[in-house]
DNA sequence: TAGGCCATCTGGTCCT
DNA sequence: AGGACCAGATGGCCTA
C-alpha cells in the first residue's frame, strides 16, 4: 500500500461549497444592499455587518481547519496502533500486510488461542506434563513446510492450527 | 476496469 | 465552547 502519507486533498478544503447556514444575523455579501461600500465605510461602523460576517466565516474556517488537523492526527494515532498490533500478531507467510479488519480478526484469534493455552496449562498438574504435551511438535521431524509459505517458525502447522485465522470464520455478527 | 483498501474532509453528537 | 469520536462521502492507488 503506497498510499501511506498522502498530502491533504484539497478538493473541498474549506472551499466556497461549504454551506453557511442562513440564519438570524447572518447574510452573504451578495445579499447586502449597496454592494459598492467603500473600504472606509466598512471599517467605520456602517460596514460592521459585512465585516462581522466575514470574521465569523474566517473563524469558522479556522475552526474547521483545526478540526481537520485534529482528525488527521487522531486517525494517524489509530494507524500507529494498528501497525503496532500487526507487529505482535502472527502473519502466516503473508507478503501483503494485513488490512485493518484482518488485523483485528487475527488479534482476536490470537488472544483466544493464548487464552486456550493458559486454560490448558492450568488443567495439568505439573508443568512438565504440559510442556511435554505442547513441545513435541517442535522436534524437527514433525515440521511440515507449506510450499506457499515462508519457511519460518510462523509456518509451524501446530501454531498455524492454534492461531488459525480464516476470514470466512468472521462474519459480521448482528 | 471493477473492487478493495485507505486517507481525508465534513457535519453531527456526546462529553468535559 | 471546544475537543473527541463517529459515520458518510469522496477520490486516489493498487491488484486481479
- Does nucleic acid strand C have an atom less than 7 angstroms from the CB of A172? no
Nucleotide nearest to A21 (CA to C1'): B11
What band does A99 get if pLDDT is binned at 50, 70 and 90? confident
At which residue does the C-alpha cell 515462508 appear?
A150
The three cell numbers locating residue A168: 470466512
* Tens-place pLDDT, residues A146-160: 222 333 334 445 555
According to the model, what pLDDT value does residue A116 have? 92
Q: Please indicate whether residue A128 or residue A26 has the higher confidence score (pLDDT).
A: A128
**Nearest protein residue, CA measured to C1' of C9:** A12
Question: What's the mean per-residue pLDDT of chain A?
Answer: 59
Q: Which residues are CB-contacts of A148 (< 8 A; sequence separation ≥ 6)? A: A93
Task: Provide, in whole angstroms, the distance separating residue A113's CA from nucleotide B13's C1'.
Answer: 38
Taking phi over 0 as left and psi of -120 to 50 as alpha, with beta for the rest, A30 belongs to alpha
For chain A, helix, strand, coil in percent to 5 are: 60, 0, 40
Task: Supply the pTM of this predicted model.
Answer: 0.58
According to the model, what pLDDT value does residue A115 have? 93
Amino acid at each position: 500500500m503506497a498510499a501511506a502519507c498522502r498530502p491533504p486533498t484539497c478538493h473541498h478544503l474549506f472551499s466556497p461549497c461549504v454551506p453557511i447556514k442562513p440564519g438570524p444575523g447572518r447574510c452573504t455579501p451578495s445579499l447586502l444592499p449597496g454592494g459598492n461600500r467603500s473600504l472606509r465605510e466598512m471599517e467605520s461602523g456602517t460596514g460592521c455587518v459585512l465585516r462581522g460576517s466575514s470574521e465569523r466565516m474566517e473563524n469558522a474556517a479556522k475552526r474547521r481547519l483545526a478540526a481537520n488537523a485534529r482528525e488527521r492526527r487522531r486517525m494517524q494515532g489509530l494507524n500507529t496502533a494498528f501497525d503496532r498490533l500487526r507487529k505482535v500478531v502472527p502473519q502466516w507467510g503473508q507478503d501483503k500486510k494485513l488490512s485493518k479488519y484482518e488485523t483485528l480478526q487475527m488479534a482476536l484469534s490470537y488472544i483466544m488461542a493464548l487464552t486456550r493455552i493458559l486454560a490448558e496449562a492450568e488443567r495439568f498438574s505439573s508443568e512438565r506434563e504440559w510442556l511435554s504435551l505442547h513441545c513435541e511438535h517442535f522436534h524437527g521431524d514433525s515440521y511440515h513446510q507449506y510450499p506457499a509459505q515462508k519457511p519460518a517458525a510462523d509456518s509451524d502447522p501446530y501454531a498455524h492450527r492454534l492461531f488459525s485465522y480464516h476470514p470466512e470464520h468472521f462474519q459480521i455478527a448482528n
